[in-house]
Amino acid sequence: MDDRGGSFVAVRRISQGLERDTTCHSNSAEVVAGSAAWLGRGLSCVCAQRREGDASRLSFDLTPAQEECLQRLQSRIDVAYDSSIPEHQEALKALWNAAFPEEELCGLISEQWKEMGWQGKDPSTDFRGGGFISLENLLYFARNVPKSFQELLRKQEGDRSVWEYPFAVAGVNITFMLIQMLDLEAVKPRTMVGATFLKFLAENESAFDLLYCITFKLMDHQWLSMRASYMDFNAVMKSTRRQLERELLLEDISRLEDLPSYGLLAR
């Protein structure tokens, strides 16, 4: 199997999973090896899950600076990926060049994209789950933390499973999970985790992109620690989210660089 994920089965788009299935399925007896539908349900459950106590969530007031930063981030979240927009096309090409600088891309629709862990030859179908910001997150990761990006893309660290998670599809899921976890589509934060993140965002407008990089590396670390295979992706994402929430609420954390998991990143 190609270490870069080219042989992975298709994963149903997150948006479809959220519309059709909000119940987690953990019974492995129901799983048929290579079942794209099952994996789709697993991924969508991670993104849509609600934690106990959400019904009584608090509301936190924002400073003008925090409100402005949140609105700018929400504007990014609202942008859908559109393959007809030149800026989006160029960003996708830039992602390929950052991932595989020695390999020329034949086109925006190409079997080559499977090497990065997309479902098929057209990555635009996968971005519908996370929007243009999920492409921006991947590109930021590739440009700003290239060593870790390449290690995850090529599955270079640890004792890997026979069936690895598809890198690019996992990246889109991480973007979506963070938006949900931080409650970024709300007018103002309703959880302590969300309020804490907005403090960091006001100090650093790249905070969401940086947190994405940290989360991706943490997810892979959890994957290896749990000796997971692709059918365990849902459990790994849940574990990653819990760990990230714990770290964001530590008393001595004043910026994202103080998070224990930030130390996993290798530049």
pLDDT at 49: 42
Residue 12, token pair as written in the block? 């149903």
Long-range contacts of 5-8 (CB under 8 A, 24+ apart): 5/114, 5/115, 5/116, 5/117, 5/155, 5/164, 5/165, 5/166, 5/167, 5/168, 6/114, 6/115, 6/117, 7/114, 8/114, 8/117, 8/163, 8/164, 8/166, 8/169, 8/230
Which range is least confidently modeled, 33-42, 124-133, 228-237, 246-255? 33-42
Task: Check: CB of residue 137 under 8 Å from CB of residue 95.
Answer: no
pLDDT at 57: 56
pTM of the model: 0.81
Closest CA relative to residue 48, chosen from 226, 241, 223, 219 = 241
pLDDT at 51: 46
Please state, rounded to an integer, the average pLDDT across all residues of the chain.
82
- pLDDT band with cut points at 50, 70 and 90 for residue 75: very high
Closest CA relative to residue 208, chosen from 184, 237, 192, 187 = 184
For the ranges 7-16, 59-68, 86-95, the maximum mean pLDDT occurs at 86-95
pLDDT (average), residues 86-113: 96
Question: Which residue type, as a one-letter code, is found at position 23?
Answer: T
pLDDT at 230: 85
Q: Which residue has the higher pLDDT, 55 or 137?
A: 137
Q: Which residues contact 40 (CB under 8 A, 6 or more apart)?
A: 11, 12, 13, 16, 17, 21
Q: Report how far apart the first and last C-alpha atoms of the chain are (Å, whole number).
A: 27
The alpha carbon of 38 is separated from its chain's Cα centroid by a whole number of angstroms, namely 19
